[in-house]
Chains A and B, each alone.
Chain A
Amino acid sequence: MTALLAVRDLDVRYGQIQALRDVSLDVPGPGIVAIIGANGSGKSTLLRAISGIVPARAGEIDFAGRSLRRLPPHRIARAGVVHVPEGRGILARMTVLENLELGAFARRDRGDLTADLARVYAHFPRLAERRRQLGGSLSGGEQQMLAIGRALMARPRLLMLDEPSLGLAPLLVREIFDVIPRLAADGLAVLLVEQNARMALACAAEGYVLQTGRVVLHGRAADLAANPAVQHAYLGAT
């Protein structure tokens, strides 16, 4: 059985800086795959290369049996790979509802969005209350909910989340991390990038550890969480 997303030997550079080197990774199908690693290890770059906003110098990115490499970002999004970028990418001058509606832009059938909106509001009731407000007026946690909700409006097959817990209060982190496994249980494949390795490994099935642009460890999330080296470097154990 081939994986839904298969990344092979990916190389990415920013000018002289080599951000990813020979990175290979699989997202087999529905469920959560976590990528952990220190700041600057290349986690965001990996998601950017998959979604096409930075070019890959070498390697292959296959999704559902077709190559994404060299496709422009809008075609990748339309293929069902939706990337919630670091910093959330909320359109601050548009309302919450307009942001959500734009989430459906990547879809072929964007006729009736009522059911999709209801599903998003069920996950994040706060968005329903705030739907007439401008995106820029939301708190950080609400913006993260909006970013995930907007991604769901595209009915993605693969959802890529870049540090959804970044800068959020613990209560909100828990709220977000309640929803992500539910999405996976509903059949969504999730590629989750986190510096909060404990939360990420707790809900993921598999994990990859990135270090200075390379995959240094890969395995079942539970095994990684039990690995002393991982505990020492990323889980704050002494």
Chain B
Amino acid sequence: MLAQQLVNGLQLGGAYALVAVGYTLIFGVLNLLHLAHGEVFMVGAYVGLALALAGAPFWAALLGGMAGAAVLGLVIERVAFRPVRDRGSHVTPLMTTIAVSLVLQHAVVKLYGAEPVAFPQVFAVVPVSLGPVTVTSLQLVILGTSLALMALLDLVLRRTWLGRAIRATAENPTVASLLGVNVSLAIVAVFVLASALAGAAGVLLAANFTAVTPFFGVKVGLKALAVMLVGGLGNVPGAMVGGVLVGVVEALSVGYLASSYRDAFAFGVMILILLVRPTGLFGARLAAV
């Protein structure tokens, strides 16, 4: 039972971490919150849904969701951040991104309606026993994909010139520019990466919950925002660990307490952590980014 809930939690937490990492990357380079990031996640889910309904295999729906979300992230950077980046206060982008999130929710309502749309079963979900635990093939795919994407992100940030440019920009944009980094381009790259990861999480969680609504991104977005704080502002490894932690807490509360209080437990634990450690579990921007 415990092992079973842990597996459920890891799978949920992996998807939260993918969204939280995006928040933290964007906060890392801009010191600004992207309040439409939950809607990027939601749109990614719908793109994946549309492809799956059209008969695409799961991997294609996943890649499509990532690509769709990446393009959306690019547009959001252009319309909601760049025009107000160097002017106005830190509140301005909060307003512009809230506006974007409302527009996106209502656009999807127009297209698909406000009711949940069932995510088609994209492959045969078979139980797999791993010792005492029984997991489904879907759970394995979700967990494996989240882990692989996070490992890939870590690799990009640590080992590639793009990743170095992003990390330098996050730490000090002026110094980065003196080193030859095109800071505007690095910021665009961050939006593309963050949004693609959110899109992947959207498709994975849609397949997990078997349905999506246009408001699918609100709760997950809020939770991922809290995960970012728990992991430490701008701290990428912190967001990864924090996401997994929150997923596990949530799954354990479903397993042992009451399923209807799962969000209360998830947020309760995060609030507790922040009361004890206001800069998050791992401090702001400890390791990479």
Interface of A with B (CB < 8 Å)?
A: 51-53, 72-74, 77-78, 82-83, 85, 89, 91-94, 98, 101-103, 105-107, 110, 150, 154
**Interface pair B171/A93, CB less than 8 Å apart:** yes
Q: Is B136 in the interface zone, CB < 8 Å from A? A: no
Chain B residues whose C-beta falls within 8 Å of the C-beta of A150 in the assembled complex = 179
What sequence of 0s and 1s flags, for each residue 167-184 of chain B, a beta carbon within 8 Å of any chain A beta carbon? 110011011011111110
Most chain A beta-carbon neighbours within 10 Å: one of B168, B183, B289: B168
Residue of A nearest to B286 (CB): A93
Q: With the chains together, A89 CA to B172 CA distance in Å?
A: 8
B180 contact from A78, A91, A98, Cβ within 8 A: A78
Across the A-B interface, the 8 shortest Cβ-Cβ residue pairs: A106-B180, A73-B177, A89-B175, A77-B180, A105-B180, A74-B182, A91-B171, A74-B180
Whole-angstrom distance between the Cβ of B24 and the nearest chain A Cβ: 14
Given contacts A74-B183, A82-B178, A91-B172, contact A101 B167 (CB under 8 A): no
19 pairs of residues in contact across A and B, judged by CB atoms under 8 Å: A53-B178, A72-B182, A73-B174, A74-B177, A74-B180, A74-B183, A77-B178, A77-B179, A85-B175, A89-B172, A93-B286, A93-B287, A93-B288, A94-B171, A103-B179, A105-B168, A106-B179, A107-B180, A154-B179
**Interface pair B177/A105, CB less than 8 Å apart:** no
Whole-angstrom distance between the Cβ of B180 and the nearest chain A Cβ: 3
Interface of B with A (CB < 8 Å)?
A: 161, 164-165, 167-168, 171-172, 174-175, 177-183, 285-289
Residue of A nearest to B234 (CB): A93
B168 contact from A53, A73, A77, A102, Cβ within 8 A: A102
**Interface pair A154/B180, CB less than 8 Å apart:** yes
Residue of A nearest to B183 (CB): A74
Chain A residues whose C-beta falls within 8 Å of the C-beta of B168 in the assembled complex = 91, 94, 102, 105
Q: With the chains together, A103 CA to B175 CA distance in Å?
A: 11
Whole-angstrom distance between the Cβ of B128 and the nearest chain A Cβ: 41
Chain B residues whose C-beta falls within 8 Å of the C-beta of A89 in the assembled complex = 172, 174-175, 178
Given contacts A93-B287, A101-B164, A102-B164, contact A83 B171 (CB under 8 A): no
Residue of A nearest to B185 (CB): A74
A102 contact from B179, B182, B285, Cβ within 8 A: B179
**Interface pair A93/B167, CB less than 8 Å apart:** yes
B161 contact from A72, A91, A110, Cβ within 8 A: A110
Whole-angstrom distance between the Cβ of A71 and the nearest chain B Cβ: 11
Q: With the chains together, A72 CA to B165 CA distance in Å?
A: 16
Chain A residues whose C-beta falls within 8 Å of the C-beta of B286 in the assembled complex = 93
B165 contact from A51, A92, A105, Cβ within 8 A: A105
Residue of A nearest to B170 (CB): A93
A105 contact from B161, B288, B289, Cβ within 8 A: B161
B181 contact from A74, A85, A107, A110, Cβ within 8 A: A74
Q: With the chains together, A91 CA to B169 CA distance in Å?
A: 10
A53 contact from B161, B177, B287, Cβ within 8 A: B177
Q: With the chains together, A154 CA to B182 CA distance in Å?
A: 15
Whole-angstrom distance between the Cβ of A220 and the nearest chain B Cβ: 30
Q: With the chains together, A106 CA to B161 CA distance in Å?
A: 11
Most chain A beta-carbon neighbours within 10 Å: one of B177, B180, B181: B180
Most chain B beta-carbon neighbours within 10 Å: one of A74, A94, A101: A74
B178 contact from A73, A92, A94, A101, Cβ within 8 A: A73
Chain A residues whose C-beta falls within 8 Å of the C-beta of B183 in the assembled complex = 74
Residue of B nearest to A92 (CB): B171
Q: With the chains together, A209 CA to B273 CA distance in Å?
A: 56
Chain A residues whose C-beta falls within 8 Å of the C-beta of B288 in the assembled complex = 93
Chain B residues whose C-beta falls within 8 Å of the C-beta of A92 in the assembled complex = 171
Chain B residues whose C-beta falls within 8 Å of the C-beta of A52 in the assembled complex = 177
Whole-angstrom distance between the Cβ of B85 and the nearest chain A Cβ: 15
